[in-house]
Amino acid sequence: MNAEVMGVKPPPDGRVQSVERAIELLQAVAAAREPEPAAALADRCGLNRSTAWRLLATLEHHGLVERDPATHHYSIAYGVVRLAAAAGHEPLARRARPLLRRLAAETGETANLAAPNGLELVYVDQVQASHVMAADWLGRTTPLHATSTGKALLAALAAGDLEAALARPLERYTATTLTDPAALRAELDDVRRLGYATSRGELEPSLWGASAAVPDGRRGAAAVLSVWGTEFRVRERGLARIGTATLAAARELGALIAA
């Protein structure tokens, strides 16, 4: 006997209600600032607690959430990371590409998308301004302390991850590279206040840029958008103006990802 005969209206568009509920729970676990018990997650999703417990047990069986044996609180498990790795960066790059085009046109400079890979960043897409010839950064990693892209990521990291990222000596690339951890931490405070990071010839003397982290719904960054060009052009266009435009685009991409 189907659901309509029984008087129960099925979900629209052929969707499966139990799968939708499981996805809602998984999203609630991911959005929580710290691990939470099944009861709190059930209440947040508007679910019966026994239903939520069964769904969480199923997600745990498949390695998508994990339960702390002491507190019985749930957090995202490594299975989600494996799924994300299988997807690669293409879905993110597709969503970001129109924003990169607009950002390059608006600022007149090259716009990049970088994705976190542990405590590294890898450039996964780039749009050059029509009148500018720029180096191809695709596939390259970047030193976090010497670029606006890296500093935007560092400012978004949780305290423990930041400590791990700054545990190694900070290499000097140019005269303006920050190699003093205390000075770098002070600048990261400014990045959090402004919402974007800047670099003034800190990796290569002639390159200036601004970057903003794309929020991932928790403490961290889903990606980083950046705009960079030669010192002369960036000074002329205004580094703060470029930073503000980059921040707006990063927030827009964050909203697209969360939708």
* Closest by CA position to 246, among listed 220, 223, 227, 219: 227
Across the range 133-156, mean pLDDT stands at: 80
DSSP letter string, 128-154? --TT------TT-B--GGGSHHHHHHH
DSSP letter string, 153-198? HHHHS-HHHHHHHTSS-----STT----HHHHHHHHHHHHHHS-EE
pLDDT digits (tens, 9 = 90+) for 17-38: 888 898 899 888 888 878 999 9
Q: Specify the CATH class of 88-258 in words.
A: alpha beta
Across the range 239-246, mean pLDDT stands at: 97
Q: Where are the domains of the chain?
A: 12-83, 88-258
CATH of region 12-83, choose from 1.20.58.220, 1.10.443.10, 1.10.3720.10, 1.10.10.10:
1.10.10.10
pLDDT given for residue 208 in this prediction? 94
What single-letter amino acid sits at 31?
Answer: A
Residue 220 sits at φ, ψ, to 5 deg, of: 150, -170
3-state class of 77 per DSSP? coil
pLDDT digits (tens, 9 = 90+) for 158-212: 888 888 888 889 999 999 999 999 999 999 999 999 999 999 999 999 999 999 9
221 pLDDT band (50/70/90 cuts)?
A: confident
pLDDT given for residue 13 in this prediction? 66
Q: What are the tokens at 91?
A: 């879905």
Spatial separation of the C-alpha atoms in residues 121 and 118, rounded to whole Å? 8
Cβ–Cβ under 8 Å, residues 54 and 38: no
pLDDT digits (tens, 9 = 90+) for 4-16: 433 445 555 677 8
